[in-house]
Structure 1
Amino acid sequence: MRKITLTPALLLLTIVCSLSSMAQSGIDTLLPVRGLCIAAPQKSGLEEFTTFITKELAPRQVNTLILRVDYNYEYESHPELRNSVALSKADIKKLVAACRASKIRLIPQVNLLGHQSWATTLESLLRVYPQFDETPHVKMPEKYVWPNPDGLYCKSYCPLHPEVHKIVFDLVDEICDVFESDAYHAGMDEVFYIGDDKCPRCSGRDKAELFANEVRKIRDHLAAKKRELWIWGDRLIDGKTTGIGMWEGSFNNTHRAIDLIPKDVFICDWHYERPDKTPVIFAGKGLRVATCPWRTPSHALVQLNDMVSYRKQSTPEMKANFQGMIQTVWSPAQSFLDEFYGRKKNETAGTNTQAACFRALFDAIKEVK
């Protein structure tokens, strides 16, 4: 028998045809969540971004937009945490109006627990309130390299500090109110610093319980105002057993928290280098999950095909847990729009770009409807 080699182009065509065939056969392949996660625009790019919502997202039937705000907002509850240039309340209301007109669910994100620093820079929370630092003995380097002797990727706040939640929940409530949102994305990905041996509060404690308790505390706070908690899923995957590794899975035993967190937490399951089939792990635990690609169109289409198959082949109970797809973008919003509209081109990336992945994913989703 002659061996057939699938080129990337042929693979994409095969997947799209497969999805189209499913749709034509009458199989319910609709995806409850068809989303985009991207940094909130800067003030200077606000008008173009709102146009992008109405002219590009709405026609593609994107129904969920997660905007990573962090400190890019003029907080009134804690103005000391604002970025030097930040969006105003009036700016946010323009985004809210554009999403409402386009029937898009708008969800803000401010990173909690982890990602309290980046490279050589502390983010606002630990810069202003250094007492919240889980690892104050780890000093920020003048020049950042990975790996490093301190194991520093990003700083975390101490989840057991008695004053930290008063501050972060003020931010959560304010950003959810201005976004008029019924959900909040807390990030909580790539948490390497948790339960540190030198932390006077966390030392010796079970890292899975620490992580799960923080998830529950945030979830309960949101639930009191009838809001959902969304988080990234990597800390709930056993990086060793699965072979996925320390970035897309946990090597510090937080993965056991998957059995300890509330079942109404929504999981955003990101995998960028391989189309790993981990949504079944979350769905099997009774958690709703969406798959999140990044910059490789062929991976995104395999992941879409998998998600459609999961929904097709599952019991009604399990099908409800397989929620859909969320394209992720990790450059500034303006950089993505420059790439999307062809104003700038990454010559070294070839076809594997965020914009190409976005277009391929939503073109394929359109075929299954």
Structure 2
Amino acid sequence: MTSVKNGRFCKTGAALRFRPGTPLISGSVPPLFSTLAEKLGCQAPLSFAQEPEEAFHARVRNCFPEAETASPEGYLLTADNEGIRIFSRSEAGLFYGLQTLLDRVAEDGLCELELYETPVAPERGLKLYLPPPTPEGFAEFRKIIDLAAQCKYNFIMLELGGAMEYRSHPEINEGWIEYASVMNEYPGKTLDIQNRFPWRKNSIHTENGGGRVLTQGQLSELAAYCRERYLEVVPEMPSLSHSDYLLTRHRELAERRDDPFPDTCCPSNPEYHRLLFDLLDEVIALLKPRRINIGHDEYYSIGLCPQCKGKSIRELYARDINEIAEYLRSRNVGTIMWGEKLLDSHWRDGTPIGGAACPAGKNMEALPATFPAIDAVDPSVEIFHWYWGVDRHLEENFAARGMNYCFANFNAPAFKDWSGRISAPHARGVCISNWGQTSLRTLQRNGVLYDLAYSSFLLWNPCFGSEDYPDIDRLTFRRLYRLGEPEKQDDMQVLTLCHTVQTDLRFQYFFDGFLLDEKQYYLGDHVFRSGDGAEYRFPVIFGSNISNTTTDPARKDAPDSIKDAYEFDSQYQEISFETFPERDKESRMWYYCRYLLPASCASLEYLRFEPVNALVPQVQVKSFRLGSDLPRQTPE
């Protein structure tokens, strides 16, 4: 049997039966493989074989004569009554094959199978801030990394900024802690600061590291955890712009001398590069990266200081990029940058943005054009192209100059013409971003977990395109709901409840100093009574395990939108992972969610919903049951 959801090269057959227990593993693989394989829960023989290119090519072609095997990340997965076998040219490919095996068994059970998969794009990434340096922060980080690995991503971009320990310049860390404390005084203060002055300012990232500093030892351990899961670590070191962390203790390097919170360095001051290169040397020595993102986005304070005034904007911007790229090249490190300031871009209504010249507005100074610098920038610099939703043709500016680009701040459901654009010669892949606190629940509420899972279907299944939103959306919710299942505990069992509510609460993105506080979204408790008379209370948290009855799952192509992208209800995506939505015949949305209760509880009676206060509307309950399985409804 074949189906769209299975991909182009897949054959499935009858169900397989093996004794319960631990898989019998053969092949030279790291211990992590054995740990993960235990989730299969059966004594199936499981073999891993890393093969030379020609041998792997021949093996795949024997099963699927039309298959291409160019990528070393591709794998062949077969299963029959004799056992399960995974083949690949690389250890990473074997790891991806194992992740697919676990995913398929959890969804459909173990069956006869021949499956060949290779990634649609070589770069598949997630951008994060560093977590707070606490046991809880590190645990959250590891959960997020595990999810990225389960979805077969291959790089993690970590913004370092002032949140990494710098032994050559401890004043950077001292300034960062003080600056973050000021900016995190109350929710939204960073936005207040951004909007306080008659000039444009950079967004402020004081959620990074929880406003604290990770030691080099702590960061090294997190990087090792990523690499063990075949995730390349790409450091992001904002420079030129977003340089507030450099300037708290080095105001003499600021471009705008009258800014009490400067965020942009003077590119003509050689001391700026000396400082930056000292920090880059520490990053390279610690993490040994293949490439580094040097930022350079949202460059607003331009040509203002005595050293820069009157100079060519094109040369100021391009020279700074090239000087840093050349320094990194001398260290055998590649360069990435955010690319919008190299584009002469406009919204559909003609409003200039990015690298286009912007006229002065009410209480806002004009911005000179920076896009001419694109012709002077080293073409080996990879562009993180995050203006893909402004105009789908903008990436052609990079391709015409031989520059590779990655669709960044990627939002797959909004992206138009996926198949055509990702197959363009200079398109390298995607990077999804979370611009809020590095916690699993924040990523859920920001829709990042949804993006992560949704994009993985596009990135590994060439049969899917932008037009397949309804099918991929349903698959995404099923995968995330399964991955979000509470960990099994011998003394606990799962209660699944289906409920809904109608409130006036709306979606909020948690970033720029707005941290998620679930107490603000707490509606009340479901109250149950067990057969022995004990009462159990389960919290109802809007946006986390319930949402509005009127939430709309439809995606729209609005002709009057200023964006060249699809639009959708973000409130629908924020509840993924924790809940599974289902629409009834009257178009009301219901939400399955799960709670843990003692395994000794054999019967339950639903008593009531108890709101936190009189203003909370009534939560409706449709059903509840012990267990966590969903009906098997996947598109064919």
Give the TM-score range, shorter chain: 0.7 to 0.9
Of structures 1 and 2, the larger Rg is shown by: 2
Name the CA distance, whole Å, in 2 between partners of 1:241 and 1:338. Answer: 32
Residue from 133, 140, 161 that aligns with 1:48:
140
Aligned match of 1:32 = 122
Aligned match of 1:143 = none
1:59-98 maps to which residues of 2 (within 5 A)? 59-82=150-173, 83-84=176-177, 85-98=212-225
Name the CA distance, whole Å, in 2 between partners of 1:106 and 1:244. Answer: 38
Higher strand proportion: 2
Aligned match of 2:422 = 308
SS of equivalent to 2:294: strand
Query: Is 1:36–1:326's contact at 8 Å kept on the other side of the alignment?
Result: yes
1:146-225 maps to which residues of 2 (within 5 A)? 155-196=263-304, 199-225=305-331
State the AA in 2 paired with 1:124.
Y
Aligned match of 2:434 = 329
Aligned match of 1:10 = none
Q: Once the two structures are aligned, what percentage of the paired residues are identical? A: 24
Query: Is 1:186–1:229's contact at 8 Å kept on the other side of the alignment?
Result: yes
SS of equivalent to 2:275: helix
Q: TM-score, normalised by structure 1?
A: 0.76
In the TM superposition, what whole-angstrom CA distance separates every residue of 1:303-340 from its partner, at most 9, and x where no partner exists? 64343342xxxxxxxx2x22111112211212xx1144
In the TM superposition, what whole-angstrom CA distance separates every residue of 1:263-312 from its partner, at most 9, and x where no partner exists? 11010000375463322221111001011134x54214x364343342xx
Name the CA distance, whole Å, in 1 between partners of 2:251 and 2:232. Answer: 35
Name the CA distance, whole Å, in 2 between partners of 1:232 and 1:40. Answer: 19
Name the CA distance, whole Å, in 2 between partners of 1:18 and 1:276. Answer: 27
In structure 2, the CA distance between the partners of 1:20 and 1:332, relative to structure 1 (3 Å rule), is same
In structure 2, the CA distance between the partners of 1:210 and 1:274, relative to structure 1 (3 Å rule), is closer
1:76 CA displacement: 0.3
1:240 CA displacement: 5.0
1:139 CA displacement: 4.0
1:34 CA displacement: 0.8
Q: TM-score, normalised by structure 2?
A: 0.45
Residue 228 of structure 1 pairs with residue 228 of structure 2: no
Name the CA distance, whole Å, in 2 between partners of 1:330 and 1:167. Answer: 26
Name the CA distance, whole Å, in 1 between partners of 2:412 and 2:427. Answer: 21
RMSD, matched Cα: 2.9
Residue from 363, 377, 394 that aligns with 1:261:
377
In structure 2, the CA distance between the partners of 1:306 and 1:249, relative to structure 1 (3 Å rule), is farther
State the AA in 2 paired with 1:180.
K
SS of equivalent to 2:237: strand
Name the CA distance, whole Å, in 2 between partners of 1:138 and 1:189. Answer: 19
In structure 2, the CA distance between the partners of 1:362 and 1:129, relative to structure 1 (3 Å rule), is same
State the AA in 1 paired with 2:289.
S
Aligned match of 1:360 = 454
Query: Is 1:89–1:178's contact at 8 Å kept on the other side of the alignment?
Result: yes
Name the CA distance, whole Å, in 2 between partners of 1:285 and 1:18. Answer: 37
State the AA in 2 paired with 1:161.
N
SS of equivalent to 2:242: coil
Name the CA distance, whole Å, in 1 between partners of 2:356 and 2:225. Answer: 38
Name the CA distance, whole Å, in 1 between partners of 2:437 and 2:423. Answer: 33
In structure 2, the CA distance between the partners of 1:30 and 1:363, relative to structure 1 (3 Å rule), is closer
Query: Is 1:339–1:355's contact at 8 Å kept on the other side of the alignment?
Result: no
Tell me the number of residue pairs that the alignment of Structure 1 and Structure 2 aligns: 310
In structure 2, the CA distance between the partners of 1:289 and 1:201, relative to structure 1 (3 Å rule), is same
Query: Is 1:304–1:325's contact at 8 Å kept on the other side of the alignment?
Result: no
1:109 CA displacement: 0.8
Unpaired segments ≥5 residues, structure 2: 11-63, 71-118, 178-211, 358-367, 464-636
SS of equivalent to 1:98: helix
